[in-house]
């Protein structure tokens, strides 16, 4: 820990970056921080998460343990997080002690699907039609807004398809709402998109912005299976996607890397589906196809450093290694691509265990 940076200015090499969350994203953030000469301190509510293996220091405690949080903050020069469901109260508590990014407001907005969509609309960007569903009485009106079919989603804590149900009628929506135990929901139009694209980008302390080329994503069973760069977006669309991310990052007064997921419709309209206020699975290809990965870019931003060059030197296809696929490590080790395994065990169904990226020479955007 270096005292000078608790006041202002960039964290010097040798300083400590605190990371809330100890999963694979925290692990890859820690590896990227180490490359720049930083130490890392991982804080997790898990006993022995995989990021602990590569960090200089770690704390295992609840996210509302103020004594542990204070000790953690005092050991760090700047603090960030690997996932968006860190309690906003935790972030606000830490922010009184050290620079924390992304900021509490950005988290609060992106933790709630309704707040998030209202925010996106307020920036002048398009989303699928949506309406709040706070009680069964809201369902008929909401379906008039969205049309049918639609997707009912809990406003908070959903990921990888959890807390989501496709519904065609008010009765189906009421059933789904009951299955979600009456948690506040949002009903969204079901978009028969041609493909999903995402844009991973970074914003620095001084407002500088740097976006990676948009990727095209394929999901299976609601989990990301494959990301390819370049996407099918043409140059103008790719530039527009980058501009969306810039507008969103500015609106959130954001510092760090974020991802914006876009539905691209058959008639090439781009709708904002979701914002992830963190490094993102659809940006893992940047580890191997760019000089500066999304992980290093995020560390640079939260440490108050200048952003790195987001250009890629290669085309890339990233595939996730999910659940028991990781047991096939002998075959994966001979695959020929760039292999990343996250040090997690056991290889439970649906768990993201690693990824592998194959590069090829640049074919254009």
Residues lying near a copy of itself in the complex (CB under 8 A): 10, 12-14, 27, 30-31, 34-39, 52-56, 288, 291-292, 300, 305-306, 308-309, 313-314, 326, 329-330, 333-334, 336-345, 354, 357, 359, 361-362
Q: Residue 225 Cβ, how far from a copy of itself at the closest point, in Å?
A: 20
Q: Residue 10 Cβ, how far from a copy of itself at the closest point, in Å?
A: 7
Angle at 328 between CA 324 and CA 333, to 5 degrees: 135
Nearer to a copy of itself, 41 or 113 (CB): 41
Q: Residue 299 Cβ, how far from a copy of itself at the closest point, in Å?
A: 11
Picking from 83, 85, 84, 76, the residue whose alpha carbon sits closest to that of residue 55 is 76
Q: Residue 2 Cβ, how far from a copy of itself at the closest point, in Å?
A: 10
Q: Residue 292 Cβ, how far from a copy of itself at the closest point, in Å?
A: 7
Nearer to a copy of itself, 202 or 326 (CB): 326
For the record, the structure tokens of 118 come out as 């209202």
Nearer to a copy of itself, 91 or 353 (CB): 353
Nearer to a copy of itself, 254 or 305 (CB): 305
Q: Residue 289 Cβ, how far from a copy of itself at the closest point, in Å?
A: 9
Residue 237 vs residues 48, 217, 219, 263, 275: alpha-carbon distances, Å? 43, 16, 22, 12, 18
What does the alpha-carbon distance between residue 155 and residue 151 come to, in Å, rounded to a whole number?
12
Nearer to a copy of itself, 33 or 260 (CB): 33
Q: Residue 357 Cβ, how far from a copy of itself at the closest point, in Å?
A: 8
What does the alpha-carbon distance between residue 13 and residue 35 come to, in Å, rounded to a whole number?
10
Residue 182's CB is within 10 A of a number of other CB atoms, namely 12
Residue 162's CB is within 10 A of a number of other CB atoms, namely 11
Write down how long the chain is. 365
Nearer to a copy of itself, 90 or 293 (CB): 293
Three state DSSP letters for 94-158: HHCCCCECCCHHHHHHHCCHHHHHHHHHHCCCCCCCEEEECCHHHHHHHHHHHCCCEEEEECCCC
From its phi and psi, is residue 42 left (phi > 0), alpha (psi between -120 and 50) or beta?
beta
Nearer to a copy of itself, 120 or 210 (CB): 210
Q: Residue 38 Cβ, how far from a copy of itself at the closest point, in Å?
A: 8
Nearer to a copy of itself, 96 or 334 (CB): 334
Q: What is the dihedral of CA 93, 257, 291, 339, to 10 degrees?
A: 90
Residue 130 vs residues 87, 118, 253: alpha-carbon distances, Å? 25, 9, 25
Nearer to a copy of itself, 13 or 136 (CB): 13
Q: Residue 288 Cβ, how far from a copy of itself at the closest point, in Å?
A: 6
Q: Are strands 270-276 and 352-361 parallel, antiparallel or unpaired?
A: unpaired
Q: Is there a contact between 103 and 254 (Cβ–Cβ < 8 Å)? A: yes
Sequence-separated (6 or more) residues with CB below 8 Å from residue 251: 119, 122, 123
């Amino acid at each position: 820990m270096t005292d000078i940076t608790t006041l202002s200015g960039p964290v010097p090499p040798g300083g400590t970056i605190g990371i809330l969350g100890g999963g694979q994203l925290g692990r890859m953030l820690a590896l990227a921080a180490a490359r720049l000469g930083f130490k890392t301190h991982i804080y997790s509510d898990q006993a022995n998460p995989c990021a602990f293996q590569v960090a200089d220091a770690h704390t295992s405690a609840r996210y509302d343990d103020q004594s542990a949080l204070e000790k953690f903050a005092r050991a760090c020069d700047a603090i960030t997080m690997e996932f968006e469901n860190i309690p906003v109260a935790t972030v606000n508590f830490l922010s009184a002690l050290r620079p924390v990014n992304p900021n509490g407001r950005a988290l609060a907005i992106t933790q709630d699907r309704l707040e998030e969509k209202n925010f996106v609309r307020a920036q002048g960007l398009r989303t699928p039609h949506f309406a709040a569903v706070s009680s069964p009485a809201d369902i008929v009106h909401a379906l008039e807004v969205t049309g049918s079919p639609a997707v009912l989603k809990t406003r908070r804590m959903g990921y990888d398809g959890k807390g989501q149900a496709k519904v065609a009628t008010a009765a189906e929506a009421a059933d789904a709402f009951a299955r979600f135990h009456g948690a506040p929901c949002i009903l969204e139009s079901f978009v028969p998109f041609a493909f999903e694209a995402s844009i991973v980008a970074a914003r620095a302390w001084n407002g500088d912005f740097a976006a990676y080329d948009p990727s095209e994503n394929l999901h299976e069973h609601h989990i990301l299976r494959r990301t390819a760069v370049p996407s099918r977006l043409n140059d103008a669309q790719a530039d527009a996607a980058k501009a969306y991310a810039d507008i969103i990052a500015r609106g959130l007064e954001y510092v760090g890397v974020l991802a914006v997921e876009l539905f691209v419709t058959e008639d090439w309209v781009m709708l904002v589906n979701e914002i992830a206020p963190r490094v993102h699975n659809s940006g893992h290809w940047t580890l191997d196809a760019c000089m500066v990965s999304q992980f290093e870019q995020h560390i640079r931003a939260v440490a108050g450093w200048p952003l790195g060059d987001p250009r890629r030197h290669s085309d890339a296809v990233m595939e996730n290694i999910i659940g028991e696929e990781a047991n096939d490590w002998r075959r994966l080790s001979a695959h020929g691509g760039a292999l990343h395994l996250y040090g997690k065990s056991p290889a439970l169904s649906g768990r993201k265990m690693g990824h592998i990226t194959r590069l090829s020479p640049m074919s254009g955007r």
